[in-house]
Structure 1
Amino acid sequence: MEYVSPQIRRFISDVMSKYLKKTWVLCLLASVSCFLWGSAFPGVKIGYEWFQIASDETAAQILFAGCRFFLAGILVIFFGSLAAGKFLLPSGEQWKHASLISLFQTILQYILFYIGLAHTAGTKASIIVGSNVFITILTASLIFRQEKLTREKILGCAIGFAGVVLINWLPGGMSLAVSFVGEGLVLLSTVAYAFSSVIMKKYSRIDNPVMLSGYQFLIGGIVMTAVGFCMGGRISVPSGKAALMLLYLAFASAMAYTIWSQLLKYNPVSRVAVFCFMTPVFGVILSALLLHESEQISIIQGAAALALITFGIIVSYREKPLTV
């Protein structure tokens, strides 16, 4: 049942098409998404503590993530339906689109990440995840042919990635040892994310990206909950604050990915993906503030990493005049 006129929906669509392509709007909204994703770093750690999930309980972590994404799907569908003026329900073909996005964006990405993270250091995992911008742009340019690969994009990615390495570099350095079940699976999770971005870009041209976001979370949440449960994971809600933390993590995922999907609809993948370099910066800064991990990073180190990432974004945008 529709309760908003087609004229109003068309007007909203025209406004979004006009403003979401503007550079300052893109920068602002992409930064908001990255901030929300970055807040999940300390949020998940706090959630594990409050839900009494140990760091080596991979099955319980996957189950916890499944509950989080299922709730995120409910939130996106509910508020998306209010905004659209009708209940968002996929058609037969749209179910296939949402399922394919969910396979890469939620199911494969997070299951591979959680298993890989259990077999590698968090610092190395963060740096590998930071490479997702490279992989996303290469996937969009060379495999799906959605845009051209330019020197500016490559150079901007390299500079931004240097910032990700710097923000995660500890005084003692890192071990260079790698394994398939550790670093290999984390790398595959970033490949899954890259494919999800370009697939979302493709389908958002014909489908409502908010609807796709909501149902891909819902499908992914159900699958991950089942996988975690079958692996032996069990969780319970021990307190009200634990429930609120789970709800916040669901909200952060729902809001961040909904904004991201709208930006992908109206902009080239590379112009959006390059902001992913901001996520680990926000994650480290918020972890320092909320988890008292300030001994792991200095103010100078954080500022230098942020400067590198910002410069990398600017360089990648030099390929054509900015829209203001």
Structure 2
Amino acid sequence: MQLEKQSVLAKPLVSALLASFCAILWGSAYPSIKLGYELFSVGADDTSAKMAFAGLRFALAGLLVFLVRSVQRGPKQPMRTLTVKQWGSVLLLGLLQTTIHYYFFYVGVSYTTGAKSSILNASSVFFSALLAHFFYANDKISVRKGIGILLGFLAVIIVNFESSLTLSFALQGEGFIIIAALLHSMSSLYSKRMSKTIDPVLLTAMQLFFGGALLLCIALLQGASFPKSSIAGFCLLAYMAALSAAAFSIWTTLLKHNKVSSITVFNFLIPVFGTLLSALILGESVLRIQYLASLPLVAVGVILVTYSSSKAPV
């Protein structure tokens, strides 16, 4: 415990800057995906090509996390020590958290804006709170958390309304983003249970690599060609793989040296950066009334849910 207090990562300013940096990286993923579709000539209705693009990104991200882990100091859990049951659990997590989750996410993002996707995907925080209520006796929904959840889902409803008050919602677009958020919440609960017996960084590397490789293989079997692009396209792909590897590695390390609530509260920045970067990179308008109304609701909702969860015993 004394060692954790002495770590530079336990200093509030350092942890806040690094957590914000992770939020920027994850927020940049939304416009990067849409820009990647252009650079890799992925057709609007070419689902297998979208799967191949996503699969290659996360397989590379998994390899990068393995690389980061190999140069980290301190004792590391060898892969050879994993039992057959643990290997099965890792493969199941990769299937749920990467293969299936990102199938819905990548298809959904292609049918809506980056800004809207980032706001809708924040619903994963609220799904997690609801699921934890049923699966953890010490993480029930309090009044504060309940208010946060209601604000979050109210934001999801508001962001799907146009200025003319007509509902803009398509299953293959906004619907898939929400399904992806639910899958992410389910897999996060499963990952938390697994991390008690498997090194979290090793677990992240394995599930990203195996889940991404499976997604790529399925896409190729469906007739997709291996992703091809210009140098600019592959540089973007390398950035997307690196951002996943860096963000997951930094985030996991921050959670080790800080209170969970002091780090996870920075999740509220992800939709904010996702919206702003979508405007900057893709030229999307962020001055729509539904965006301006839903973003604060999402931010407040995430803060309420996160701080309420932090009071529950671990």
- The answer to whether the superposition gives a TM-score over 0.5 is yes
Establish whether residue 190 from structure 1 lines up as the match of residue 196 from structure 2: no
The question of whether the paired residues in 2 share the 8 Å contact of 1:69 and 1:221 is answered with: yes
Establish whether residue 140 from structure 1 lines up as the match of residue 132 from structure 2: yes
Q: Aligned to 1:238, which of 206, 229, 234?
A: 229
Query: Offset at 1:126?
Result: 5.1
Query: Offset at 1:198?
Result: 1.4
Alignment partner, residue 32 of structure 1: 21
Pairwise CA RMSD: 3.7
* Number of residue pairs matched by the alignment: 306
Alignment partner, residue 69 of structure 1: 58
Q: Aligned to 2:94, which of 86, 89, 102?
A: 102
Tell me the alpha carbon deviations over residues 88-137 of structure 1, each in whole angstroms, 9 at most, x when there is no partner.
Answer: 6423334334223212211111113334556x644775554332111111
Alignment partner, residue 92 of structure 1: 82
Alignment partner, residue 210 of structure 2: 219
Gaps of 5+ in 2: none
Pick closer, same or farther for the CA change 1:266–1:232 going to 2, 3 Å: farther
Alignment of 1:1-324 (within 5 A): 14-15=3-4, 28-84=17-73, 89-90=78-79, 91-93=81-83, 94-116=86-108, 121-122=112-113, 128-145=120-137, 147-162=139-154, 170-175=162-167, 179=171, 184-262=175-253, 275-293=266-284, 296-298=285-287, 307-316=296-305, 319=308
Query: Offset at 1:27?
Result: 5.1
Q: Which 10-residue stretch deviates more, 215-224 or 26-35?
A: 26-35
Q: Write the distance in 1 (CA, Å) between the matches of 2:116 and 2:230.
A: 33
Q: Write the distance in 2 (CA, Å) between the matches of 1:177 and 1:168.
A: 6
The question of whether the paired residues in 2 share the 8 Å contact of 1:153 and 1:315 is answered with: yes
Letter in 1 for 2:34: K
Query: Offset at 1:245?
Result: 0.5
Tell me the alpha carbon deviations over residues 15-61 of structure 1, each in whole angstroms, 9 at most, x when there is no partner.
Answer: 28988788766654443322211101111111111111122211101
Of all paired residues, the percent bearing the same amino acid is 35
Q: Which 10-residue stretch deviates more, 37-46 or 95-104?
A: 95-104
With structure 1 as the length reference, what TM-score do the two structures score? 0.77
Query: Offset at 1:223?
Result: 0.3
With structure 2 as the length reference, what TM-score do the two structures score? 0.79
Q: Write the distance in 2 (CA, Å) between the matches of 1:113 and 1:298.
A: 24
